[in-house]
Structure 1
């Protein structure tokens, strides 16, 4: 693995990440596509390969390969790349620790992290975790984390940091020469997060995964936490974050110097019958301001807003326009809003397939716009325009 920072715009950075001899070369900041057992939930392989030029990296959960299929089967096949027939794609394995309160006040047990799986709740320690990682052979993998929500005590934060570092050392001792992302934790404590980052940076890791975000912290508190972590990490290694998937959250993390993201946001919109429509570039934002009155009138009729439209709404039953005018995704080039509305109402899974194609394509385009803004040294302007547009759109909707 090789990572190089190509350009800066304030603290946001444009990078190039090469995932090994046979892996892809990614421009960062970039999005790791969410998967279920290694593949997107609704997009078939023949369409996935044509989804978007940037659809080169996938986030996989090691927890999906604890039981069915078990790691022994994955290892016998030769790893996930071979099993999924994705030899040229990058796979990043990330296992998030679910929140679990226990009577001793220390959350997860000392033996391992508690995860909710399809076979019930499981305690997974470093040995079992690395058995799955070594079988899957991902390009990058995050070490086993002890993540805690924002509201836990300082004592619990210290336990989380110590335990995660101990598990990191154990995971590294069991790894088979693959790129490890050392997880940085510490909850809502700047002191503990700084300590975790500094100690993790002393280990032989390929990069860092910022854990414990998106677990109840306030948006205004998240910025200082992100900045404290990134300021304590070496600049020459990539940084990944889980739990920050909304556009505003992504921009906040990019502004702090984060490079890799995995997000449930596109998938959750698809499940709700929504299509992304928010302006992703500075030019689109300015154009949307010029047409704001027409846009608000459309939103008010269809249970939609400035970021998405609800295709379940009856207002789209005769709408022959694409989801987003000018969008070059397969869905917008081939199908109309009325057709997807019909598919949703008849409970056809093709509706989710077409929506997922559009939502992933649109969000990958958003990350492309972020990179272009950094390359032009205009990221702070892009960030401010995007947030300003969202706020003004909210105000317009509330005034209707």
Structure 2
């Protein structure tokens, strides 16, 4: 079949696939910010387990308000939170779990996972929604120098793998996620113009390949790349939007790109996307980056930021619209806090009998003190990371709730500006305080 005829044949079948997918996923915008880009939406997932006829779990219905945080996992579960503690997190905000199919390269093979009934059955989490994304910024990192026209290369704990569309689709079909992202050639910001253009061409071709090979009921999110080139970002966006996919995955961020130019790149993409479909981004983790993404019209974010915080012994403490407050003196801030998070390994917390955040209702803050977590960290006890991840996840999910409320009430731009200004002022004060501590006393 000639290339042009083949592409036309693929596009003809996409609309029918899209209609079937919308039965599994629905999305509607409920409110817009004054700027017209930030929005509150409702993402609805519904599916019937393939094993229901054999006594398996019944159909599930999940409704998530956006902007929302997808909990990043390692092989399907948050790194330090066991299944019995998932229910202690805000519900239903915590019911979207993101994983990379590459996590299972060293575990059960695709046939075994398929025979079990997919990732929901494998993990026993039937009431949760699973989102499959090739890259996760923890265990599955894109290696663009080793990618080629046949497939995308990834660095994983069990080695470097070149994943072709047909192999990727076998993984997706066996795992049966609720949402899944097409294979993309994500490149570092420093690549040449020629290499960046090639990444867009490959990503579009692989999207067509994924559609033609599709044999799963999950909703497809088309990948958008283009590095730091506005023209390539727009070209990729326009091509992916033609495919009538259920949503969009905006990749390539957090790979050497500048924060200053990110807003322009995000707007160049979201301005061309249909408003009735959700947008998911990878690589924006800091609170100010999340606010930047939401201001550009992004709906879904990953939570690798929480994992890295927890691994380093940090706890989130920034105020949630005045509802939760952490108070510390300037000396403590300079040594152990940047106004957003505190380092609970610091000796200043060794005898601190207070909670991480006064007013926080998470399991950790309701039952344990900074001194106890400081002790656990210093004796290398895993419970420290469990307690920290519970708090950090709860705090960040609450942050998204405050953002949604601010958008609905027309206060988003005010909230964003206040957060950025307070963060800037705190960093300046901490910097000056640190300089004073380092300045020798003169006679």
Residue 22 of structure 2: aligned partner: none
- 8 Å CA contact retained: 1:240, 1:260: yes
Note if contact 1:242-1:263 (Cα within 8 Å) is conserved in structure 2: no
**C-alpha distance in 2 between matches for 1:263 and 1:158:** 29
Query: For residue 359 of structure 2, what is the aligned residue in structure 1?
Result: 326
In 2, the alpha carbon distance for the partners of 1:24 and 1:231 equals 28
Secondary structure in 2 matching 1:399: helix
Tell me by how many angstroms 1:118 deviates: 2.3
Judge conservation of contact 1:23–1:89 (CA < 8 Å) in 2.
no
Partner of 1:32: 70
Q: Are 2:311 and 2:385, in contact at CA under 8 Å, matched by a contact in 1?
A: yes
1:311 to partner: Cα distance = 1.1
Partner Cα distance (1:185, 1:101) in 2: 12
Mapped partners of 1:385, 1:297: distance in 2: 23
Say which SS state the counterpart of residue 264 (structure 2) adopts.
helix
Q: What is the TM-score normalised by the length of structure 1?
A: 0.94
Is 1:307 the counterpart of 2:340? The answer is yes
Deviation at 1:316, TM superposition (A): 1.1
Tell me how far 1:309 sits from its aligned partner.
Answer: 1.1
1:100 pairs with 2:143: yes
SS at match of 1:389: helix
* CA distance in structure 2 between the aligned counterparts of 1:146 and 1:25, rounded to whole angstroms: 31
> Contact 1:126–1:167 at 8 Å: present in 2 too?
yes
Which residue number in structure 2 is paired with residue 227 of structure 1? 267
Q: In 2, distance between residues paired with 1:250 and 1:315?
A: 30
**In structure 2, what is the equivalent of residue 337 of structure 1?**
370
Of residues 101, 104, 128, the one that matches 1:62 is: 101
Relative to structure 1, is the Cα distance of residues 147 and 340 closer, same or farther in structure 2, using a 3 angstrom cutoff? same
Q: Moved runs in structure 1, 4+ residues, more than 3 A?
A: 97-102
Determine the C-alpha separation between the residues in 2 that align with 1:98 and 1:48.
26
Distance 1:55 1:29 in 2: 13
Following the alignment from structure 2 to structure 1, what is the Cα–Cα distance between the partners of residues 330 and 274?
A: 45
2:391 matches 1:352: no
SS at match of 1:298: helix
1:247 to 278, 287, 310: 287
Name the CA distance, whole Å, in 2 between partners of 1:174 and 1:67.
24
Distance 1:101 1:236, change over 3 A: closer
Alpha-carbon displacement from aligned partner over 1:178-223 (angstroms, at most 9, x marks no partner): 2110000000000110010010011131100001011111111000
Unpaired runs of 5+ in structure 2? 1-24, 48-59, 434-443
Q: CA deviation at 1:355?
A: 0.4
Conserved 8 A contact 1:90-1:138? yes
Structure 1 residue 8 and structure 2 residue 32: aligned? Answer: yes
**TM-score, normalising length: structure 2:** 0.85
| CA contact 1:113–1:124 (8 Å) conserved in 2 | yes
Q: Distance in 1 between matches of 2:316 and 2:171?
A: 35
Q: 1: distance between equivalents of 2:330 and 2:152? A: 46
Counterpart in 2 of 1:19?
45
Following the alignment from structure 1 to structure 2, what is the Cα–Cα distance between the partners of residues 59 and 340?
A: 27
Deviation, structure 1 residue 155: 1.5
- Report the Cα distance in structure 2 between the residues aligned to 1:145 and 1:240, rounded to whole angstroms: 14
Structure 1 residues 223-279: Cα deviation after superposition (integer angstroms, max 9, x where no partner): 010000001110000000001111111110100000000021111111111111112
Flag the structure with larger Rg. Answer: 2
Query: Residues 52-80 of structure 1, C-alpha deviation per residue, up to 9 Å, x if partnerless?
Result: 22111111111112331221111111011
